[in-house]
Structure 1
Amino acid sequence: MATTNLPFVQQEMIRYGMSIYFALGLIGNICNCIMFTRPLYRRSPSSVYHFSFSICALLYLIWTVSPQLYTLHYPDLQKESVLYCKTRLYGSVVLGLYFRYILVCACADRFFATRVDVRLRSLSSVKVAIVLIVITFIVCVLVAIHIPILMDIRSNTCGMFGLYKLIYAFYQIMTNSVLPPASMIIFSALTIRSLHQRHTALMHARNRDRHLLRMVIAEVAVNIITAVPYSANLIYGVATYYVVNKSAQRLEIESFMTFLAQFVLYMLSVAPFYLFLFVSKPYRNEFINIIATCQTKCIRRRNRIMQVRVQNQTATINDPVIHNK
């Protein structure tokens, strides 16, 4: 029996908060996929990374949020199937790692694109982007392979047990909370420094590329912001790993704080589209143009349908007259 109201609050946050996340994330990532295949962006390597990020974020939301919404009304399958217990977390971790390190690749691409050295600048290309995307996915799949091997169901609970629980916490801190944000900050700082060193860079750089850099930096900021509570929760878990005989109230509070940290973490897969609309005028204008074009096509189609109906009605009215003659 619950000793606090936190389990109820968590359930309501899943019911309403996760539902909003899910809807906004699906809409935003689908719009991103459409936008980054437009002629304005499709030839830029940054756009390839953003497109891949959006596809991954879309799959991540479907893979992670759908089961939580399902368990509001039905039994949790993680407690009943060992295979599902292993694959659900494995898929979540792989997808989470993938879109974080794709963002690192996007930051590196912006750095290479601003370099004077031709050899370094040649690394900013669509071909290199595709190769790095494939390599990153393979590495993420292999790096997380220990999860389905060592996870198990015990006492009707799907999770890590024994020493592996502590090792997994360190693993998550390094792969999610330390390496990606640190790499993003380093590449972003080097990019800004490179631009300042080239006094004419901002004058000669294409407007699209400058705004792509803004978009990448906005994603980096969200990544760092969302990683802070998640990292703090992981560190707390490591620090209290050997604490035994925790009260039921403390366990509920810790469980809720873990959920809250993960809830904030989902923002990284939801926010990019809305950030891009805010920070990039070309992106915003292109999106408005798409909406306007779709609206115009719908109006024209409606008008054609109305014209056909009027013509059919006119023909129907005139048929008896013609027949009488």
Structure 2
Amino acid sequence: MSSNTTIITSLTVVSAQLNRYLSIVILLFGVIGNILNCLVLSERTLRSNPCVLLFLASSIASLITLISGIAVRLLSGWSMDLTDTVEWICKFRIFILFSSRTIASWLITMATIDRWLSSSINIHLRHMSTIKNAQRGIIIIICLSIIVYIQIFYCYQSNLIDSPLKCYGKTKWCRILNDFEFAFISVIIPSLLMFIFGLMTILRIRQTSLRRIQPIMITTFIQTKSKNQRSQTLRKTDHYLLAMLFMQVLLLTLFSLPQVIVTLYSNINLNINQIKSPLDITINQFIFNLFILLTYVTNGMPFYIYTLTGGTVFRKALLKTLTEFIRKFIFSST
């Protein structure tokens, strides 16, 4: 019994420390990265690309996710989390968190589909990769995400005891609905679509890399040297966007699936009439807490992925943005 008590105490302390210090790291790097993403991707030379527009909207959604999710968990490390005790804050915060995270995930899915469309040899499919369609997709995803999670205002409740978190589903069926809804709508289905369309894009590029020449590319090749260089720049941009996208999809799936597995496993155990010891409850809560923190890494990492895999296209835009910001700051202070 004494050894169990020691383990319970240690896990509780470690969990609190993770909420304090790991949350600070994720929040700091995530907020800075997403703000820089928004500045860079707003560049006129980049935002005319539908995939970049989707990246930009996803960065905004990820920024909202980090503030509504990780900032609150940071406060819980010092026992200052009002979502645990104030019911309307609990409901509103979870609604914003789930909606924004789902929006960010589906926008990356849309970006994957856009890369598949733009790589098609079918001119009708290529013409579907437009700014207007990307804007329509963003609006539809936002509206559907809000509708899907509107039930949170009924299901979620604060001051709960027998649950992984104090702000959680108030009944067994609410927990099953919310957890399965988040698992499938925010993680599993988008991840499957990303994998399918990403694989199709790679196969299509390999099959057509030696013989595919788009009509636009033909005209630019025939015309002047400057237009030919512009064509090469567009192809290079598409290449880097594809690398940025695939790396983000891979890491998003890697960091999100553990929480889904734990969530589904805990809901399966709800129907098993088994009395859990305090040690089992503490271990489950520790694992649950750790995997939740890991999911926030996916919302804070896009900028660093883009910097590493975006090649000169993204890094030049970043350098240009920082230079203009510093120049404006210097002139405004003098």
Q: Same fold (TM over 0.5)?
A: yes
- Are 1:226 and 2:231 counterparts? no
1:94 to 92, 96, 99: 99
CA-to-aligned-CA distance 1:87-139 (integer Å, 9 cap, x gap): 22111111111100011100010011111222211110101000000000000
- Are 1:214 and 2:219 counterparts? no
Name the counterpart of 1:194: 204
Name the counterpart of 1:108: 113
Q: How does 1:146-225 map to 2 (within 5 A)?
A: 146-153=151-158, 155=160, 157-160=166-169, 161-198=171-208, 199-201=210-212, 206-225=235-254
SS at match of 2:153: helix
Whole-angstrom distance in 1 between the partners of 2:110 and 2:32: 24
Q: How many residues align?
A: 303
Q: Contact 2:20–2:75 at 8 Å: present in 1 too?
A: no
Q: Contact 2:34–2:59 at 8 Å: present in 1 too?
A: yes
Whole-angstrom distance in 1 between the partners of 2:148 and 2:203: 32
Q: Contact 1:4–1:249 at 8 Å: present in 2 too?
A: no
- Are 1:134 and 2:139 counterparts? yes
Q: Contact 2:30–2:301 at 8 Å: present in 1 too?
A: yes
Whole-angstrom distance in 1 between the partners of 2:273 and 2:190: 30
C-alpha displacement at 1:228, in angstroms? Answer: 2.4
Whole-angstrom distance in 1 between the partners of 2:248 and 2:135: 20
Name the counterpart of 1:278: 308
Q: How does 1:297-312 map to 2 (within 5 A)?
A: 301=331
Q: Taking every aligned residue pair, what percent have the same amino acid on both sides?
A: 22
Whole-angstrom distance in 2 between the partners of 1:238 and 1:19: 30
C-alpha displacement at 1:297, in angstroms? Answer: 6.3
Q: Contact 1:85–1:158 at 8 Å: present in 2 too?
A: yes
Whole-angstrom distance in 1 between the partners of 2:212 and 2:13: 55
Identify if the C-alpha distance between structure 1 residues 226 and 243 changes in structure 2 by more than 3 Å, giving closer, same or farther.
farther
1:257 to 282, 287, 291: 287
CA-to-aligned-CA distance 1:176-197 (integer Å, 9 cap, x gap): 3320100000111111122122
Whole-angstrom distance in 1 between the partners of 2:188 and 2:101: 14
Q: Contact 1:48–1:129 at 8 Å: present in 2 too?
A: yes
Range 266-275 or range 72-81, more displaced: 72-81
Name the counterpart of 1:81: 86
Identify if the C-alpha distance between structure 1 residues 77 and 120 changes in structure 2 by more than 3 Å, giving closer, same or farther.
same
Q: How does 1:24-35 map to 2 (within 5 A)?
A: 24-35=29-40
Letter in 1 for 2:23: M
Name the counterpart of 2:321: 290
Q: Contact 1:195–1:202 at 8 Å: present in 2 too?
A: no
SS at match of 2:12: helix
Range 16-25 or range 142-151, more displaced: 142-151
5+ long unaligned stretches in structure 1: 306-325
Letter in 1 for 2:236: N
Identify if the C-alpha distance between structure 1 residues 139 and 249 changes in structure 2 by more than 3 Å, giving closer, same or farther.
same
CA-to-aligned-CA distance 1:157-184 (integer Å, 9 cap, x gap): 4322223223333223321332010000
Range 23-32 or range 152-161, more displaced: 152-161
Letter in 1 for 2:138: I
Range 232-241 or range 56-65, more displaced: 232-241
Q: Contact 2:70–2:293 at 8 Å: present in 1 too?
A: no
TM-score by length of 1: 0.86
Whole-angstrom distance in 1 between the partners of 2:168 and 2:110: 31
Q: Contact 2:106–2:186 at 8 Å: present in 1 too?
A: no
Range 217-226 or range 76-85, more displaced: 76-85
SS at match of 1:4: helix
C-alpha displacement at 1:80, in angstroms? Answer: 2.7
Letter in 1 for 2:168: G
Name the counterpart of 1:13: 18
Whole-angstrom distance in 2 between the partners of 1:291 and 1:92: 30
SS at match of 1:240: helix
Whole-angstrom distance in 1 between the partners of 2:282 and 2:79: 22
Name the counterpart of 2:74: 69
Q: Contact 2:87–2:157 at 8 Å: present in 1 too?
A: yes
Q: How does 1:47-58 map to 2 (within 5 A)?
A: 47-58=52-63
Whole-angstrom distance in 2 between the partners of 1:239 and 1:155: 20
